Copies of this chain bind each other. A is one copy, B any other.
């Protein structure tokens, strides 16, 4: 359900582009010709197009038009500049995702935990360790830390389903943004065990470290996601802004 007019236009254009309704590499109909089609103002249409630009679907050239540069990509990619839960990603890829909870404990942040996560010393936290599998193959080992005061009532049962669903739908929390860092790290014995890896094969893996914020401005989650290197794929569309 589109939450606004420009969002509806954005989604419609996106679908049409994905469906190949516009020739690849060519220009889309001009803004002025699309305005009557959608019955909107120019600003509204331009807002929809701006989103397509950041998605890497089109590029705009002043004086010429809007070029379709969409290329169908591997659907198996893990994430694309948006916050997406494992469950959402599984559904999008029409795969059979499953989650196993390895550990579920409550703890108080000491110096060591505080330094690692960024939570203040003394914070009451949930620490959850989970393995995400796709079609039965373990792909991701997750270490989650949730601030208990912001995400109260978490249980192992919820962790096995979807924590974000619980936070958003039951607690009505609004998740806003997530600062992520991707690095490559050495494999630990825990990784080796739960991701069924062999040091003699790959001896490192991809790690996504993220600090996630809600609309109260509190960092309520720290997560370290450890990904099997042979299945890890992270996509991005970068724009050149330069100093011009």
Contact = CB atoms under 8 A, between A and B. Distances in A.
21 contacts: A67-B217, A69-B217, A77-B181, A82-B239, A83-B240, A83-B241, A83-B242, A168-B244, A175-B240, A175-B242, A176-B239, A177-B237, A177-B239, A178-B237, A181-B236, A182-B206, A182-B234, A182-B235, A183-B232, A184-B229, A204-B204
Nearest to A186: B202
A56 interface: yes
Contacts of A238: 79, 81-83, 177-180, 210
B184 A237 contact: no
A206 B180 contact: no
A180 B83 contact: no
A190 interface: no
Interface residues of A, number: 53
Given A25-B217, A203-B204, A177 B234 contact: no
Interface of A: 1, 3, 25, 53-54, 56, 59, 61, 67, 69, 71, 77, 79, 81-83, 168, 175-186, 202-206, 210, 213, 215, 217, 229-230, 232-244
Contacts of A3: 244
Nearest to A180: B236
